[in-house]
Amino acid sequence: MLHLTRPALLLALMPTVAPCMAQWDLTFQGQVPVTANGANLDLAWAGGLNFVQVSDVDLNGDGLKDLFLFDRSGNTVTTLMNTGGQGTNAYRLERPDNASATYSGLHDWALFRDYDCDGKADLFTQGQAGFGVYRNTSVGDTPSFELITSRVNSRYVSPSGTGTLANLYVSQVDLPAIDDIDGDGDLDVLTFSLLGSYMEYHKNLSMELYGTCDSLVFELRNKCWGYFAENFNNNSVTLDTPCDFNVPNPELGEQGDRPEATEDTERAHAGSTILSLDLNGDGVKEVLIGDISYNNLVGLYNGGSIEEAYMTQEDTLFPSYDNSVDLALFPAGYYVDVDQDGKRDLLVGGNATSLSENKRSLWYYTNTGTDSSPVFEHQQEDLFQERMIDVGEGAFPVFFDHDRDGLMDLIVANHGYFAAGGVYTGKLALFRNTGTMDEPSFELITDDYMGLSTSGIGISMYPAFGDVDGDGDLDMYIGDLQGRIHAYRNTGGPGTAQFELLQPNVTNSGGEPLDVGQFATPVFEDLDGDGLLDLLIGERNGNLNHYRNTGSASLPVWSLVNENVGGVSTVEWWNVTGYSVPSVFRNASGERELLLGSESGWLYHYGAIDNNLNGTWTLLDSTFLNVRDGIRTGVALHDLTGDGELELIIGNYRGGLSFWGSEPILAGIGEMNTASGLRLAPNPAAGTVEVTLVQEMTGNWQLDIVNGQGQVVMSRSGSGQRLVVDVEGLANGVYTLRVSSVEGERKARLMVMGQR
């Protein structure tokens, strides 16, 4: 069954780690509102799209075709469920908690096709030097798949007529056509040859041998189907190509009056995509071809018949009668009914893994003709992306209260937005929290926070916020791709934040630019408890660097303590890099713990940090909560609802985010109102707040104020029924106020709104 969270070999070689904390029980929260340019992003937390492959398949058994999106960036899956809106592209995001586990064995490409004619599309995906097939065994609304074969074979026929059974070869960078090419009811395969630019036709013999379409028995029937060849210097083709190395009496037409063969012109094959469809309503298959090095689709029109495939026309800028495909690199076409009008439309996505368009990644052409004779009309270039948070390539979330209204806003860094010529522009996006202390919601304010795209820092900017000049507001340090740190002072005064460059390259205690190698991801944290913020910096190598502030609260001096503090590493056994992205929080006991994003996409969870700066921190989990949202993840943790529970936002290399809610991280959190046994007035508070125990506690009790990261920021002792607490020194925000004694604990939510 295709349900493993990781390949079996990987599981066998991973070290055994302690179980995750029991109080963590995250569920996907896709309904948290997000708006951009006045529009609601109903797919906001879907995780973005970069290099997506599309299939239509009924995933929940309701009789409607849903969309299965497989992204080559991290081999991730997004499922969009059909809501039944005829004439529209009405889909809702469905992210079951085990979505990643259900499809985790897929890689390179994944397409749904019904090979056994049971009405349920089966799953074809790249395997070892070819492809494997999972039969759809779903019952009701729960998808399930059974491995039929991990390697589909075909009988390869030589020019002499002898045959050898071997794996049906599909390059890991190619995308084959899996379709009924000869019209007999079973699925055949078109793929490019191992060594050259010719298209092979592998006929499925299921109908011929068994009279049914439920088998996968293939034989190579034509080594140059359609009699064309891809050209070496561009992505056009040469028609009327001789094929002296073909099989005897090729199934789809003999050479006949075709040009005489002169030599075998097969060349090294780089990569191509194939979509088979009938473009002119004559019942024979044409093909749309994409090339790994080019931006356009080539349409080849079949002037032959089902019995004799012969390409006679070429459209090098398909569709030349409309807005031609221009997708930067390696386009691939998909023929699915997106708008649910009974006619299949054309979608085109990039089949690369990098160096290609990452913001307009899925082109949509509606079909204004018929299903058997389509006419494609260009609609948009960011299908579904315009309904998601998508910041291009890479998404690394960081919480920061930009407008100082007490609600935590969201800063999202990226690797960069793709531009012509393979250039990337790095930016930070600001999503302002426009919700309440109970219910967060976010609005995109700008995709270029503080105009940092023109700062010269470059791509892969990563921000950290902390008061390093001692003036009571949060300043910004930015890590970059080169491993350097750039300091910006907050000059915004009592209102919203405003930053000016303070130090282009932050220096260490020796006066040299601070440098961690590549991909610096800083976070501020007072690790040694001396009241001064230290720097933890992740990097490409997957470790953490610890720089201690040996200066003062207003004039820091950064002294390197350890280049691999705690022995932390996010490097998997099969790789040499880890791309560690740290986030620090407090557990139920108030102890400091660490959560890290990684290159593999898994979240690493470390404990035993406090009073252990010279020792080894404990790896609690290297597959935290079995949540993997793609490669090169980043994490942000905060109590966004003020209920004592930490919410988790995960970014990934597709440029999107997912939102997860957790069980209480602070033990015993109950209802945050007067029913909890506490009354706070005023609330929100500015200078002081009066805390009243609805029922007086016996003897002395302790009051703690806990921030959104689980840190105790203020403690007071009291007795009796009332205590007045000065909160003027606290930053604006939502806090948990906790009163405890031998009789137990009482908790309420406090909002501080004094700092302007």
Residue 589 burial (10 A CB sphere; 0-12, 13-18, 19+): exposed
Give the pLDDT band (50/70/90) at residue 269.
Answer: low
8 Å CB contact between 206 and 217: yes
The three-class DSSP label of residue 453 is helix
Least confident range from 256-265, 501-510, 558-567: namely 256-265
- Distance CA(216)–CA(279), nearest Å, equals 27
- Distance CA(471)–CA(282), nearest Å, equals 76
8 Å CB contact between 287 and 332: no
8 Å CB contact between 697 and 725: no
Predicted local distance difference test score (pLDDT) of residue 434: 96
pLDDT digits (tens, 9 = 90+) for 222-260: 999 999 998 877 888 999 888 888 998 887 554 444 444
Predicted local distance difference test score (pLDDT) of residue 645: 81
- Distance CA(663)–CA(672), nearest Å, equals 15
- Distance CA(592)–CA(652), nearest Å, equals 25
Predicted local distance difference test score (pLDDT) of residue 134: 95
The distance of Cα 458 from the centroid of its chain, to the nearest Å, equals: 22
CA angle 577, 583, 588 (to 5 degrees): 130
- Cβ-based neighbour number of residue 690 at 10 Å: 14
pLDDT digits (tens, 9 = 90+) for 12-67: 222 222 223 335 677 899 999 999 999 999 999 999 999 999 999 999 999 999 99
**Token pair in block for residue 602:** 């898994």
Predicted local distance difference test score (pLDDT) of residue 263: 45
Least confident range from 299-313, 404-418, 514-528, 657-671: namely 657-671
pLDDT digits (tens, 9 = 90+) for 584-598: 998 878 899 999 999
Q: Which among 138, 136, 198, 137 has a CA at the least distance from the CA of 169? A: 198
Predicted local distance difference test score (pLDDT) of residue 252: 52
pLDDT digits (tens, 9 = 90+) for 372-405: 999 999 999 999 999 999 999 999 999 999 999 9
| DSSP string of 615-646, one letter each residue | SBPEEEESSGGG---SSS-EEEEE-SSSSS--
Q: Per-residue pLDDT for 262 more than 80? A: no
Give the pLDDT band (50/70/90) at residue 201.
Answer: very high
Q: Per-residue pLDDT for 92 more than 60? A: yes
CA angle 104, 295, 110 (to 5 degrees): 20
pLDDT digits (tens, 9 = 90+) for 685-696: 878 888 988 888
Give the pLDDT band (50/70/90) at residue 96.
Answer: low
Q: Per-residue pLDDT for 1 more than 70? A: no
Q: Per-residue pLDDT for 469 more than 70? A: yes
Q: What is the mean pLDDT of residues 201-214?
A: 96
- Cβ-based neighbour number of residue 397 at 10 Å: 28
pLDDT digits (tens, 9 = 90+) for 168-193: 999 999 999 999 999 999 999 999 98
Q: Phi and psi at residue 375, in whole multiples of 5°? A: -125, 120
Q: What is the mean pLDDT of residues 86-94?
A: 85
Give the pLDDT band (50/70/90) at residue 412.
Answer: very high
- The mean pLDDT value of the chain amounts to 88
Q: What is the mean pLDDT of residues 607-614?
A: 95
8 Å CB contact between 569 and 578: yes
Predicted local distance difference test score (pLDDT) of residue 78: 94
- Distance CA(398)–CA(410), nearest Å, equals 6
Predicted local distance difference test score (pLDDT) of residue 268: 53
Q: What is the mean pLDDT of residues 270-298?
A: 94
8 Å CB contact between 729 and 707: no
The distance of Cα 31 from the centroid of its chain, to the nearest Å, equals: 18
Q: Per-residue pLDDT for 673 more than 50? A: no
- Distance CA(446)–CA(443), nearest Å, equals 9
Total number of residues shown for the chain? 756
Q: Phi and psi at residue 162, in whole multiples of 5°? A: -75, 155
- Cβ-based neighbour number of residue 603 at 10 Å: 27
**Token pair in block for residue 55:** 């299939």
Q: What is the mean pLDDT of residues 153-164?
A: 93
All residues at 6 or more sequence positions from 723 whose CB lies less than 8 Å from its CB, including other chains: 690, 691, 703, 716
Least confident range from 8-12, 37-41, 123-127: namely 8-12
**Token pair in block for residue 454:** 């023109």
